[in-house]
Chain A
Amino acid sequence: MSKGTSFEIPIGPQHPALKEPESFTFVVDGENVVDVKPRIGYNHRGIEKALEARTYLQNLYLIERVCGICSHAHVFCYSQNVEEAAGIEAPPRAKYIRTIVAELERIHSHLLWVGIAAHEIGFDTLFMYAWRDREVVMDLLELISGNRVNYAMNTIGGVRRDIQSDVAEEVRKGLQKLEERAKYYTGICTSERTILRRAVGVGILKPADALTLSAVGPTLRASGIGRDIRRDDPYGAYDEIPFNVITHDGCDVASRVIVRLGETLEAIGIVRYALEHLPEGEIKVRAPRTVASNESVSRVEAPRGELIHYIRSNDTDKPERYKIRSPTLGNILSVCKMLVGGYVADIPIVLAAIDPCFSCTDRMAFVDIEGEREWHMTGEELRRYGIKWYEAKG
């Protein structure tokens, strides 16, 4: 493997290629990547523990802040989870409004991703244009929910705000502009020669590997496997809205671009259909303050893939245990597979192609495979452990 000419490059925790801290140590030989060792956990904030100390209503706003870009997906999953544990169901109008906001967030996330991916390959112009058009969808979300990120639309039992007809009209106009821009970007990304040279054939993930390494979301669908929670396990209003699951067979970065831009166009279609068929009725039902002892699992298709939440309640107004598994955690093993054998210059674009959201990802669990030991650490102990580890590393 290494003939004494290889050395290690640390990408992260701080690096211009990563928008969020995560450590990947690459063993490179010239320009070829020989091996990669990931270490996750740099963005751990103790959210799961904090959830246990607040009531269900307060947790709505804490859960939003697990991630800035997929915040609504997390709250959607949480509200569904608590509603199922409490045995209530949101009214149809609320489900449609939740779906509309979820799809608008998907558009927002994918446009943001196009900009970031362009920046990673040095194409700052596309970055500026994609983020300019992202302002359209952010203004729409501000109109609907009152904030550009962290929309706080959901409550337990439904949604907090209604979509009036003048707001719906603005949304339709904005969607028109977004559709035209999304088609333009699809044209650019499939015809601009420098982008194609950086993206085609880069970061290959074969379908068999994708399945064994538990890839999710657009990363999986760009390898030709059409799994989408919205179709396989419908939630919200997705069982009543027709849409296509976009897949592509290329297995490389260019396919992931095509899948994401295709999903943006599909999302625009879903929002239009939902606005047309918005059912009348109330927007929320009364939720109980305490939730009886119950367990529940809920899954949602976040912009990055499959998001799973688990809750255990115990008859009080605070959850006993809450667990979040976010899609990027599922994609990290696949990204390590994609990086080995490539070039150093491809590292940022391959990392960006799984749309990493390390804020969502970091939960801590020390697992002793052989023995029975469990670790519980306070914040101060964790800090000291980290300092000792870095000193030992040299």
Chain B
Amino acid sequence: MSMEGELLKSLSKKPITLRYPYEKAAPLKGLRGKHSWDPAKCTGCGMCARVCPAFAIEIFGKGKEAELRVHLDRCTFCGQCEESCAPGALKLTPEYELAAFSHEQMVIDFKRPNGPPQQT
């Protein structure tokens, strides 16, 4: 009978679970989520593709013309690409709702010079 007190207290408290998707937990700062890319800073060095442990980043082209493709379904969100990016062009944002219905929807193509990156 030891937990009875706790049980009765819970009846008067608001439940701890969230009514997803109507209520969502705010991600804490520093959460490693989806990638973001600043084409102005990228020098096309290719370090991100080389250090990725899951081989999730592909680089097309060289130097200031380079474009990226990130396979979110292979990515382990370790952040090594962000750490190895010397100019600070590739960063991980706290966006974590990344589920999709097919593999094609999980690939991000970062292109230039057409402005914001497109997700196919």
Contact = CB atoms under 8 A, between A and B. Distances in A.
Contacts of B30: 142-143, 145-146, 161
A162 to B, nearest CB: 11
Interface residues of B, number: 21
A391 interface: no
Interface string B1-42: 111001100000000100000000000111110000000000
Give chain A's interface secondary structure class. Answer: helix
B3 to A, nearest CB: 6
Contacts of A58: 51-53, 80
B65 interface: no
A188 B79 contact: no
A54 B53 contact: yes
B79 A129 contact: no
Contacts of A320: none
Given A54-B53, A125-B3, A160 B83 contact: yes
B9 to A, nearest CB: 11
Interface string A108-150: 0000000000000000011001001001000100110111001
Given A54-B53, A61-B76, A61-B78, A192 B2 contact: yes
Contact of B78 (A55, A135, A152, A193): A152
B72 to A, nearest CB: 15
Given A57-B53, A129-B6, A193-B1, 15 more contacts: A61-B53, A61-B80, A125-B3, A125-B7, A132-B16, A142-B30, A143-B29, A143-B30, A147-B31, A152-B80, A160-B79, A160-B83, A188-B2, A188-B3, A192-B3
B29 to A, nearest CB: 8
A142 B28 contact: yes
A374 to B, nearest CB: 30
17 contacts: A55-B51, A57-B80, A58-B51, A59-B53, A61-B76, A61-B78, A126-B3, A129-B6, A139-B28, A142-B31, A143-B28, A146-B30, A146-B32, A147-B32, A152-B79, A161-B30, A188-B2
Interface in A178-204: 184, 187-188, 191-193
Contacts of A193: 1
A57 B28 contact: no
Given A59-B53, A152-B79, A146 B3 contact: no
B76 to A, nearest CB: 6
A135 B16 CA distance: 10
Contacts of B29: 143
Interface string A40-81: 000000000000001101111110010000000000000000
Closest 7 CB pairs of A and B: A58-B53, A61-B53, A192-B2, A61-B78, A146-B32, A152-B78, A146-B30
Interface residues of A, number: 30
Contacts of B3: 125-126, 129, 188, 192
Interface string A363-386: 000000000000000000000000
Given A146-B31, A160-B83, A191 B2 contact: yes
B77 A147 contact: yes
Nearest to A125: B3
Contacts of B76: 61, 65, 150
Interface in B35-93: 51-54, 76-80, 83
A62 B79 contact: no
Interface in A11-60: 54-55, 57-60
Nearest to A147: B32
Contacts of A57: 51, 53, 80
Contacts of A187: 2
A150 B3 CA distance: 33
Nearest to B51: A57
A146 B79 contact: yes
Nearest to B10: A129
A54 B53 CA distance: 8
A195 to B, nearest CB: 9
A65 B77 CA distance: 12
A188 B4 CA distance: 11
A160 to B, nearest CB: 6
A3 B119 CA distance: 68
Nearest to A57: B51
Contacts of B32: 146-147, 152
A100 to B, nearest CB: 16
Contacts of B16: 132, 135
Contacts of A143: 28-30
